[in-house]
């Protein structure tokens, strides 16, 4: 049986749950501008994390170095609690600014009804993704 290769995927946000709509909208615009300056492509989506809805950006990092750079940006400039990263084996991890990554399972596309039962999921390009 052939081993399946997965794409590296990173899901990030600039928003903070305690801030208002306008401030979070500006933070997202600032993050997009930073990524544009770095020539990093992204797709905008809707993320739900700990039952809080926010704009998220989904990136296919070129390599682990680019992923580390992105994490550094969102942790230092935007004060994010964590980012989600899927490796080429399909394993998903939460990365934190000051502790080791935590393996959380596999990021999978799933029907809306199943994804919305999770406390965290992502909607991008009209497809729902969550940890399975």
Q: Given this model, what pLDDT does residue 3 score?
A: 54
What is the 3-state secondary structure of 50-109? CCEEEEEEEECCCCHHHHHHHHHHHHHHHCCCCEEEECCCCEEEEECCCCCCEEEEEEEE
Predicted model pTM? 0.93
**Contact criterion met (CB below 8 Å) for 12 and 81:** no
Chain mean pLDDT for the chain: 94
| pLDDT tens for each residue of 47-75 | 998 878 999 999 999 999 999 999 999 99
Q: Which helix (H) or strand (E) holds 123?
A: strand 121-124
**Residue 87 burial (CB < 10 Å; 0-12/13-18/19+)?**
middle
Task: Kindly state the average pLDDT of the residues 36-56.
Answer: 94
Spans of all domains in the chain: 9-131
**Tell me, what's the pLDDT at 51?**
78
Q: What is the per-residue pLDDT for 1?
A: 47
**Alpha-carbon distances, residue 122 vs 23, 39, 66, 100 (angstroms):** 21, 23, 21, 23
Tell me the per-residue pLDDT of 97-111, one tens digit each, with 9 for 90 and over.
Answer: 999 999 999 999 999
Query: What residue has token string 């399975």?
Result: 132
């Amino acid at each position: 049986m052939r081993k399946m290769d997965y794409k590296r995927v990173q899901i990030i946000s600039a928003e903070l749950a305690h801030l208002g709509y306008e401030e979070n909208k500006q933070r997202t615009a600032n993050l997009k501008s930073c990524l544009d300056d770095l020539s990093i492509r992204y797709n905008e989506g809707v993320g739900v994390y700990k039952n809080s809805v926010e704009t998220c950006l989904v990136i296919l990092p070129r390599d682990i170095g680019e992923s580390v750079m992105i994490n550094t940006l969102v942790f230092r400039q935007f004060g994010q609690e964590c980012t989600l990263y899927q490796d080429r084996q399909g394993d998903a991890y939460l990365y934190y600014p000051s502790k080791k990554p935590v393996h959380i399972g596999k990021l999978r596309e799933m029907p809306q009804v199943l994804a919305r039962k999770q406390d965290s999921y992502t909607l991008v390009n009209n497809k729902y993704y969550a940890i399975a």
